[in-house]
Amino acid sequence: MTGRRDFLRSMASLGAVACAPAVFGEQYPSRPIRIIVPASAGTAVDVTARFVAEALSKSLKSPVMVDNRAGAGGLIGAEAVAKSPADGYTLLFAGIPHLTTRWFVDGPVNFDPVKDFAPLARLSSSALCLAVKADSPYRTLEELVAAMKRKPGDITYASGGAGSTSHLCTVVLNDLTKTRAKHIPYKGNSPAVTDVIAGQVDFTCQGAPSVVPMVKAGKLRGLVVTSPERWPEIPNVPTAAQVGLPGFKVSSWMGALAPVQTPAPIVERLSEELVRIARTPAFKDFCARQSTYVDIADRRQFLVELPQEDAHWKRIAQLSKES
């Protein structure tokens, strides 16, 4: 009997060891990881995801690939991740549209952006610049706000589409200043900027890739940036706080999420690796080149903040429909 008990005990120990990788993620990853980006190549979220994928591939010693799934304001890519197996091999790299787009689409959205995902880490944020045509009569944000107060609904603004950060930025501004402007949505940021330069629309709020080259070229005039600090590329453009509107803080975070049932050890490991990457000088330099800034939240902090952000942007979306 003693021999049999020893045999069974040995087998049980072997079974525990065999199960350990599945339970504790010790052998994770054992195959390539795919990061789905719900936006087109070349966008801020895409280039950031590619930097992270390369760094993550080195730290995990396993291939990490980026898969662009643009469309429906990010809903197509996000739904693909929500419906994927929760095994740590399909991740989402997204931003504010992950929370906002669903308030502006016709028909049902087949996932919940908060409940169906396990936040891994927020890595960075990108602010916006409110810009007008270079020879616009509005030389300061104060002058633009005054015009919107004099002519409610007459001043126009261009965005990359309903529910985009470039749209909701002006909704936030109108809410803060008790003004109203007319929204002109476009299918993308480039045509929105083009029509502001042409004088077809009065102003736009855009991220650095869309607006900085045009300001430097003398085609746009930046009135204000919504970040805590001025942008090094266009240092003459003040922050909102510097022009007396400190509440005008609009940014789009960029971070990684996994399907909600992903095992906790895998979530923990990915969070640790992502935060470590975000703390490197290389990532800080990368963000500076993209006119974004390092903005780190580990999985615990991100988990707390995501529902709060969702509630905030839901309110802003409702305001946009009432204006």
**Once rounded to an integer, what is the mean pLDDT over residues 194-218?**
95
Cα 319 from Cα 163, distance rounded (Å): 12
Under the banding of pLDDT at 50, 70 and 90, the label for residue 289 is confident
Under the banding of pLDDT at 50, 70 and 90, the label for residue 24 is very low
**Once rounded to an integer, what is the mean pLDDT over residues 169-197?**
94
Higher pLDDT, 2 or 48: 48
Query: What's the pLDDT score for residue 208?
Result: 87
Cα 35 from Cα 244, distance rounded (Å): 40
**Once rounded to an integer, what is the mean pLDDT over residues 7-28?**
47
Residue 259 CB burial class (10 angstroms; 0-12, 13-18, ≥19): buried
Under the banding of pLDDT at 50, 70 and 90, the label for residue 323 is low
Helix, strand, coil content of the chain in percent (nearest 5)? 45, 20, 35
**Once rounded to an integer, what is the mean pLDDT over residues 209-220?**
94
Answer whether residue 129 shows pLDDT above 70.
yes
Q: What is the pLDDT of residues 190-199, one digit of tens each?
A: 899 999 999 9
**Once rounded to an integer, what is the mean pLDDT over residues 1-9?**
45
Residues with Cβ within 8 Å of 123's Cβ and at least 6 positions away in sequence, in order, are: 48, 52, 254, 255, 256, 274, 277, 278, 283, 294, 295, 296
The domain locations on the chain are 31-126+251-322, 129-243
Under the banding of pLDDT at 50, 70 and 90, the label for residue 110 is very high
Do the beta carbons of residue 68 and residue 46 sit within 8 Å? yes
**Once rounded to an integer, what is the mean pLDDT over residues 199-216?**
94
Q: Name the DSSP class of 296.
A: E
**Once rounded to an integer, what is the mean pLDDT over residues 156-162?**
91
**Once rounded to an integer, what is the mean pLDDT over residues 181-200?**
93
CA separation, residue 235 to residues 92, 110, 117, 294 (Å): 34, 43, 38, 19
Paired sense of beta strands 251-259 and 90-94, if any: antiparallel
Q: What is the pLDDT of residues 111-123, one digit of tens each?
A: 999 999 999 999 9
CATH superfamily of 129-243: Periplasmic binding protein-like II (3.40.190.10)
**Once rounded to an integer, what is the mean pLDDT over residues 38-58?**
93
| pTM recorded for the entire structure | 0.81
Domains 31-126+251-322 and 129-243 equal at CATH topology level: yes
Question: Which value, in Å, is the radius of gyration of the alpha carbons in the chain?
Answer: 23
CATH superfamily of 31-126+251-322: Bordetella uptake gene, domain 1 (3.40.190.150)
Q: Name the DSSP class of 238.
A: P
Do the beta carbons of residue 233 and residue 257 sit within 8 Å? no
Do the beta carbons of residue 126 and residue 48 sit within 8 Å? no
Answer whether residue 76 shows pLDDT above 80.
yes
Average pLDDT, the chain: 90
Query: What's the pLDDT score for residue 26?
Result: 56
Candidates 136, 138, 133, 144; CA nearest to 197 is: 133
Q: What is the pLDDT of residues 254-281, one digit of tens each?
A: 999 999 999 999 999 999 999 999 999 9
